[in-house]
């Protein structure tokens, strides 16, 4: 049992919840890892689960609570690091089509998993990072030293039309979970 519940008034509720969960998992022949298991009040705390950060947010207009679900910082950093690795300077000798195809496959998979609920800002960050990294890759490939010249020579529109970069959606639909 975690120390945060040792002196809590919610101890009986926590113990009964854990006992019920343990019984359900035993019927499925699974074991509960009590060292990793904890209960969280989502109204006061955030928690990470399967790459998402989840908490109860309060709406600005209505003041009602809603479940706020977005990709965690760790999963965002993982995809950004992967994009950076795929567009690194060492890969300028590879055909550009290969580089773009690998980047597209990575980003499409990540977006397919995380394109859910309140992730519009996170998706915008991924899209910005993706565009910046491909422009930097093209600058290094074509030996364009000046960053401003790189933006003129490789505009955002060309990244999608000429080079076939996957366009990350920057708005997430409120849809039901596909579990």
Domain co-membership, 34 together with 93: no
pLDDT at 6 (0 to 100): 43
Q: Give every strand in the sheet of 47-49, ordered side by side.
A: 47-49, 52-58, 65-71
Number of domains in the chain: 2
Asked if 122 and 94 sit in the same domain, the reply is yes
Domain span including residue 7? 1-39
With bands split at pLDDT 50, 70 and 90, how would you rate the model's confidence at 127?
very high
Question: Residue 124 and residue 171: Cα distance in Å, rounded?
Answer: 8
pLDDT at residue 149, as a whole number: 94
Residue 31, sorted as left (phi over 0), alpha (psi -120 to 50) or beta, turns out to be beta
On the question of pLDDT at 8 being above 90, the answer is no
User: pTM of the prediction?
Assistant: 0.78
Alpha helices in 28-119 (DSSP H): 73-86, 96-114
CB atoms within 10 A of CB 66: 13
Q: Note whether 114 and 174 are same-domain residues.
A: yes
């Amino acid at each position: 049992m975690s120390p945060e519940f040792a002196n809590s008034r919610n101890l009986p509720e926590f113990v009964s919840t854990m006992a019920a969960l343990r019984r359900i998992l035993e019927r499925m022949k699974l074991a509960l890892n009590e060292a990793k298991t904890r209960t969280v009040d989502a109204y006061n705390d955030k928690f990470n689960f399967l790459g998402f950060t989840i908490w109860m947010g309060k709406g600005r207009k209505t003041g009602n609570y809603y479940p706020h679900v977005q990709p965690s910082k760790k999963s965002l950093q993982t995809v950004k690091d992967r994009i950076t690795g795929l567009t690194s300077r060492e890969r300028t000798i590879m055909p550009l089509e290969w580089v773009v195809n690998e980047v597209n496959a990575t980003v499409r998979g990540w977006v397919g998993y995380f394109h859910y609920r309140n992730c519009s800002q996170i998706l915008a960050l991924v899209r910005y990072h993706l565009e910046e990294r491909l422009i930097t890759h093209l600058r290094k490939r074509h030996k364009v030293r000046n960053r401003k010249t790189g933006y003129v020579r490789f505009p955002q529109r060309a990244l999608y039309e000429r080079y076939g970069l996957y366009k990350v959606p920057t708005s997430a639909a409120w849809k039901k979970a596909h579990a």
